[in-house]
Amino acid sequence: MRRLVKQLFTGILLLAAQPLLGQSGENDRTVYLPLSNVMDAAGMATVITSKGRPADCIAPVAVTTIDGKKVVVPAKGFLIEPGTHSINGKATLDMTSCPLDDSNPDIGSMADLEVNFMPGNTYFIGFYHKPANTLEWKLVVWHVE
């Protein structure tokens, strides 16, 4: 009986939390959805974060904040409502093509990337890490379709 109650309670919590996973804030909500929500894609912009270009020193990004609020979004990318939004996150760098030349390897935190997302467009976002000075490394939109 306890096991059944525990399973039911867990299912209820997941159902209750599901609508909140793609929204942040109270009145100033930024709506973002997983890429798998093709039915809800009309009027949204697509953000791809899982593709980098190692030869051009652009690494994939794991988005952790949108509009200054902590978020959990799919690693491959997500849909976001049109408008200007700021994005930040973490990157795993492939230093094979772009070795670290700076004598000061302290990277620190990166500035937010502010993008005006247009409905129907796809934005490829990555972390550019080519300059010898690590202070010049930054998030970039490296391709728009």
User: pLDDT tens digit string along 74-110?
Assistant: 989 999 999 999 999 998 888 888 887 766 566 667 8
Q: Is there a domain that residue 111 lies in?
A: yes
- Evaluate whether residue 96 is within a structural domain: yes
Total of domains in the chain = 1
The closest alpha carbon to 58, from 20, 92, 89, belongs to 92
Q: Give domain status of residue 58, yes or no.
A: yes
Is residue 15 in a domain? no
C-alpha to C-alpha distance for 32 and 35, rounded to whole angstroms: 9
Mean per-residue pLDDT, 19-39: 55
Q: Which of 27-41, 91-105, 127-141 has the highest mean pLDDT?
A: 127-141
Structural domain boundaries, residue 47: 23-144
DSSP at 53: B
- Percentage of the chain modeled with pLDDT above 90: 45
CA distance 28 to 83: 13
Q: What is the pLDDT of residue 18?
A: 37
